[in-house]
Structure formats: structure tokens, C-alpha cells
């Protein structure tokens, strides 16, 4: 199963190819995507992305996770989150969201089992 292409990104809106939902923040993995609801894990801009935000994506058997920190990179990614991924043998890229989406799509096009979490505003 391949990772779905992110078809479009603009402030506050993301579309994933093959999915009719428009996301504000989203999680993607080989074969699927869904809304990334920060309330599920109590995520805020600081301290930022928690391992709990990524567990679902990790369980999908990804090789690489791309984290989009927002258009202005307001979303933090603490070292504990990066370490969680590395301990699970997963490569991690932490980038501004537009760059993160471009990198994610490039990896997906190469057939890499890539997942990601993306913040589409600040």
C-alpha cells in the first residue's frame, strides 16, 4: 500500500489525493489519512508534537515520518519526539509545512513507506 499524495496545501487547508475531506491539520500514512485533532493528546504549539501524536502513524509500518511545523514554524518538536521515532527505527524530517509536504510527496512518489503529521496554519 502506498502513501497518498498531498494534493494541495494552503493556509488552513490541506487535501489528500483520493480523499474528499479538507483538513486543517492532518495525519497521513500508507493507505490512509485523517484529521489530526490536537485535543486527542492535548497538543499545543509548545511543547509541540508529542510521541502520542505519532503512535498511530508509527503503527502503520512507516520507514520515514515527516513533521510539518506550520507555515511560520510555530509548532515545536521536542527532542523526546524525535528520539521516540529514532528508537523505533524510523527516519524523521522536521520542516516548515510547505517544505514538509514537498518532501513527503517526493518520498511517496519514490515508493517510500512515508507517513506524516502536518500543521497548516501558523
What order do you get walking across the sheet with 6-10 strand by strand? 6-10, 13-16, 22-23
CB neighbour list of residue 20: distance below 8 Å, 6 or more residues apart: none
Give the ranges where 19-66 is alpha helix by DSSP (H): 51-58
Dump pLDDT digits (tens) for 63-101: 999 999 999 999 999 999 999 999 999 999 999 999 999
For residues 116, 105, 61 and 78, what is the CA-based torsion angle, rounded to 10 degrees? -30
- Residue in the structure block whose three cell numbers are 519514490: 110
Dump pLDDT digits (tens) for 13-38: 999 999 999 999 999 999 999 999 99
- For the chain, the domains span 6-118
Say if pTM beats, i.e. exceeds, 0.95.
Answer: yes
DSSP state of 24: S
Cβ burial of 89 (10 Å; 0-12, 13-18, 19+) is exposed
Identify the band that residue 39 occupies on the pLDDT scale cut at 50, 70 and 90.
Answer: very high
Does the structural domain 6-118 have CATH classification 3.40.1230.10?
A: yes
- Residue in the structure block whose three cell numbers are 511543547: 47
- Residue in the structure block whose three cell numbers are 490512509: 32
Residues 97, 98, 103, CA angle at the centre, nearest 5°? 90
Amino acid at each position: 500500500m502506498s502513501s497518498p499524495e498531498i494534493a494541495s496545501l494552503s493556509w488552513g487547508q490541506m487535501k489528500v489525493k483520493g480523499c474528499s475531506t479538507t483538513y486543517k491539520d492532518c495525519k497521513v500514512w500508507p493507505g490512509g489519512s485523517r484529521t489530526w485533532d490536537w485535543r486527542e493528546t492535548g497538543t499545543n504549539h509548545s511543547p509541540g508534537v508529542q510521541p502520542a501524536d505519532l503512535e498511530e502513524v508509527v503503527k502503520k509500518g512507516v520507514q520515514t515520518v515527516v513533521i510539518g511545523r506550520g507555515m511560520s514554524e510555530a509548532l515545536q518538536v521536542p527532542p523526546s519526539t524525535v528520539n521516540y521515532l529514532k528508537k523505533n527505527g524510523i527516519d524523521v524530517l522536521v520542516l516548515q509545512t510547505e517544505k514538509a509536504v514537498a518532501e513527503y510527496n517526493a518520498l511517496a512518489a519514490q515508493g517510500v513507506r512515508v507517513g506524516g503529521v502536518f500543521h497548516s496554519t501558523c
